[in-house]
Amino acid sequence: MRKIIMFGVRDEERTVAENWAKEHQVELSINEENFTPELIERVKGYDGLSLSQVGKLDESLYAQLHQMGIKQIAQRSAGVDMYNLALAKENDIIISNVPSYSPESIAEWTVAMALNIIRKYDLIQERVNEHNFSWTPEIRGRLMGDMKVAVLGTGRIGQAVARFFKGFGCEIIGYDLYPNSQLSDLLTYGDSIEEVIKDADIISLHMPATEENYHLFDKELLLKCKKDAILLNMARGALIDTKALIEVLDEGHLMGAGLDTYEEEGPLIPKNLTDQTIEDELFLQVINHPKIIYSPHIAFYTDEAVKNLVEGGLNATLEVIETGTTRNRVN
């Protein structure tokens, strides 16, 4: 019987994984801990490995996994920036992802964040809690349907985001390294990021994180946005220079930002730190900033997505075991 070991498994994922194992006649070891060098011995005797890695994977593990005969790591998410893909390839390890598990879940959260900022929901709720029910310009919103939305990255998630904003009547402009000619009824592509963002009221990021786009939105690019623009990031924290974003917001250049990710979130997400001291001062500035709405990387987090991520990761693991490769290989 084929044997697969999983790490980083939450309680809600366990039943999905167990049902999958029964259906596919696979022996499955389920571990709630994240995979670290201290746990390498648990992998001995298994054919495949499925992870839900958030922070960087310790680079000493690639060679150790190779020595144990492990041929792949199946990441249970779309993003794979936590892996050294070149080092994995050197050790004959296939890295796979789950490229599409619920684009609509992320798109819904993106639009919800935009509406929250545009309609001043947090400020209104704060005033309601103080029994201040007056109507004043501070809480007056804007009509989203009159806005121009820039979607950076027009893959599955970006397309869903564009469709949802289009449903409100927004004009959609897009940017992608590989423009999709089939989206002409949905959006108009720009030739550069600078061109796309300069007149956009809402800028929504749906790009993978790479070495080339690290801190893509630095202070220089942020200042090229409209002064009252809204920046949304449901993709990867490394796309934005967080210090620069806070500076720009403090200077009054952007209306606000909606962030579902933070560039140093590895030690923080998804953990309950209620009774602990958070020492990351930059992160504290993010979650306490009056112009930032932050959520802990949960844009994807729906019933459908949880099921699809678990099954997608395990399907890729089994595919490599049985065929030597997978359609979801990223290296």
Residues facing residue 49 across a β-bridge: 5
Nearest to 29, CA basis, from 54, 49, 58, 52: 49
Can you point out the beta strands (E) in the chain?
3-6, 27-30, 48-51, 72-75, 94-96, 148-152, 171-175, 188-189, 202-205, 230-233, 256-259, 292-294
| Spatial distance between the Cα atoms of 187 and 116, rounded to a whole number of angstroms | 24
Strand order in the sheet with 94-96: 27-30, 3-6, 48-51, 72-75, 94-96
217 DSSP 8-state letter: B
Q: Which DSSP helix (H) or strand (E) runs through 117? A: helix 103-118
* Catalytic residue from among 76, 236, 263, 319: 236
Per-residue tokens: 77 = 């998410």
User: Are the C-beta atoms of 149 and 171 separated by less than 8 Å?
Assistant: yes
| Spatial distance between the Cα atoms of 65 and 93, rounded to a whole number of angstroms | 8
* Catalytic residue from among 156, 263, 297, 319: 297
Nearest to 225, CA basis, from 122, 143, 148, 111: 148
User: Are the C-beta atoms of 310 and 76 separated by less than 8 Å?
Assistant: yes
For the question of residue 236 being annotated catalytic, the response is yes
To which residue do tokens 């099954």 refer? 311
For the question of residue 263 being annotated catalytic, the response is no
* Catalytic residue from among 76, 206, 263, 265: 265
CA distances for 137 relative to 14, 134, 202, 264, angstroms: 49, 10, 21, 36
For the question of residue 297 being annotated catalytic, the response is yes
Enzyme catalytic residues? 236, 265, 297
